[in-house]
């Protein structure tokens, strides 16, 4: 399954003689004539979201973590292989416009920004990157927890394929980011016996989901925790749109419960018969009737379209 890529363009601009649009950020003075790092980010096509457009656009002050390692030795991302201390350096896009810069660390004027990455004068390097930035890391793994869906940009974990074989004479690096988790989106409409007002107190839960995992930044593997629990989807005030970011799961059956919370109607249930693949978004059109749930449409997109099917759930 082809994954929609989030392309992060990293321009390693030369210290002197840099030119371009006046609105573009320019590299700062680098020690010993080395090349400093400037970062641009672009994200793919747009889609509806309860929170900010995490599928497509960067948000203000979004942060990524970047690692620079020695190339060609087969070691990968380890402490011993980190080049020039470029270990989990934080880059930020203050305006959410895809222009990234080192996160400010100096407390006093004139202090060195320790997040700024410089290309080595001699030698070849590789780069790793991920989003969102976290610190500290243990053994180059990120701990993930999706139990709380209220801040989805914070749990929308993305990872970039390793960018290999770069030198200061080959300074343009493209990080191809992809979503590592799965997304569930429900568009809700009232059916027979219900009105739009009846949806305003709607809550939706998906049962028996893993909520914790670790992601290995060196080899790009995700390992889910053992415990499972119910997850409450993030829902708009109108109840017309619900969504959740979930851990990938090979299980092809999970129960969703729809509760109008009106002290009158019992909750509705529906069995979702799809496994959850990393990087895929599962969108269902749901019509809630007074006596049943009707699934009027289903699609799977790479967050590359795959047609789903309709389900009538009682």
- State pLDDT tens for residues 203-222: 999 999 999 999 999 999 99
Structure tokens at 137: 């890391």
Q: How confident is the model over 61-90, as a mean pLDDT?
A: 93
Does 205 lie in the same domain as 146? no
Structure tokens at 38: 């400037």
Share of the chain residues as helix, strand and coil, in percent rounded to the nearest 5: 5, 40, 55
Sheet holding 141-145, edge to edge: 141-145, 212-216, 221-224
Closest by CA position to 43, among listed 77, 9, 19: 9
Does 261 lie in the same domain as 138? no
Does 297 lie in the same domain as 243? yes
H helices of the chain, in order, are: 152-155
Q: How confident is the model over 109-128, as a mean pLDDT?
A: 86
Does 235 lie in the same domain as 246? yes
pTM of the model: 0.82
Whether 255 is covered by a domain: the verdict is yes
**Distances 242 to 33, 56, 122, 180, 199 between C-alpha atoms, Å:** 52, 18, 52, 20, 11
Question: Looking at residue 45, what is its pLDDT?
Answer: 36
- What sign has the CA pseudo-torsion 203, 205, 211, 217? negative
Given pLDDT bands bounded at 50, 70 and 90, which one contains residue 194? very high
Question: Looking at residue 112, what is its pLDDT?
Answer: 76
Specify the DSSP class assigned to residue 155: H
Check pLDDT > 70 for residue 46. no
Whether 1 is covered by a domain: the verdict is no
Question: Looking at residue 60, what is its pLDDT?
Answer: 85
Does 69 lie in the same domain as 161? yes
What percent of the chain lies above the pLDDT cut of 70? 77
Number of domains in the chain: 2
Average pLDDT, the chain: 81
Name the least confident of 44-53, 124-133, 162-171.
Answer: 44-53
Residue 269 or residue 21, greater confidence: 269
Whether 50 is covered by a domain: the verdict is yes
The backbone torsions φ and ψ at residue 34, rounded to the nearest 5 degrees and listed phi first, read -80, 170
Does 175 lie in the same domain as 216? no
**Dihedral through CA 284, CA 287, CA 290, CA 293, nearest 10?**
-30
- State pLDDT tens for residues 216-263: 999 999 999 999 999 999 999 999 999 999 999 999 999 999 999 998
- State pLDDT tens for residues 132-184: 999 999 999 999 999 999 999 899 999 988 889 888 887 777 777 788 999 99
The DSSP code sequence of 89-145 is EEEEETTSSSEEEEPP--SSTT---TT--B--SSS-EEEEEEES--S--BTTEEEEE
Residue where a domain stops, chosen among 149, 179, 209: 179
Residue 22 or residue 255, greater confidence: 255
Domain CATH number, residue 167: 2.60.40.2620
Q: How confident is the model over 72-85, as a mean pLDDT?
A: 93
Residue where a domain stops, chosen among 134, 163, 179: 179
Check pLDDT > 80 for residue 37. no
Residue where a domain stops, chosen among 128, 159, 179: 179
Question: Looking at residue 31, what is its pLDDT?
Answer: 55
- State pLDDT tens for residues 266-308: 899 999 999 999 999 999 999 999 888 898 888 887 773 333 3
Does 257 lie in the same domain as 128? no
Structure tokens at 72: 């060609």
Its domain, for residue 259, covers 182-313
Whether 24 is covered by a domain: the verdict is yes
């Amino acid at each position: 399954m082809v994954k929609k890529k989030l392309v992060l363009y990293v321009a390693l601009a030369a210290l002197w003689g840099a030119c371009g649009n006046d609105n573009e950020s320019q590299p700062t003075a680098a020690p010993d004539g080395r090349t400093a790092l400037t970062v641009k980010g672009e994200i793919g096509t747009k889609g509806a979201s309860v929170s900010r457009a995490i599928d497509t656009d960067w948000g203000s002050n979004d942060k990524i973590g970047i690692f620079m390692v020695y190339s060609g030795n087969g070691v990968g991302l380890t402490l011993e292989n980190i080049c020039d201390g470029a270990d989990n350096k934080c880059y930020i896009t203050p305006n959410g416009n895809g222009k990234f810069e080192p996160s400010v660390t100096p407390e006093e004027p004139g202090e060195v920004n320790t997040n700024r990455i410089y290309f080595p004068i001699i030698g070849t390097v590789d780069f790793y990157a991920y989003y969102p930035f976290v610190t500290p890391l243990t053994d180059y793994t990120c701990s993930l927890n999706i139990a709380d869906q209220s801040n989805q940009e914070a749990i929308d974990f993305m990872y970039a394929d390793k960018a290999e074989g770069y030198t200061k004479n080959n300074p343009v690096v493209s990080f191809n980011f992809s979503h590592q988790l799965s997304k569930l989106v429900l568009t809700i409409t009232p059916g027979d016996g219900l009105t739009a007002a009846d949806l305003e107190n709607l809550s939706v839960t998906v049962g028996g989901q893993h909520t914790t995992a670790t992601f290995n930044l060196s080899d790009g593997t995700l390992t889910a925790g053992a415990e499972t629990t119910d997850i409450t989807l993030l829902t708009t005030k109108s109840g017309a749109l619900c969504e959740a970011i979930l851990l990938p799961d090979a299980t092809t059956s999970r129960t969703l419960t729809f509760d109008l919370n009106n002290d009158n109607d019992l909750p509705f249930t529906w069995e979702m018969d799809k496994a959850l693949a990393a990087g895929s978004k599962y969108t269902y059109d749901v019509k809630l009737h007074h006596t049943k749930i009707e699934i009027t449409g289903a699609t799977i997109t790479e967050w590359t379209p795959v047609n789903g099917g309709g389900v009538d759930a009682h």
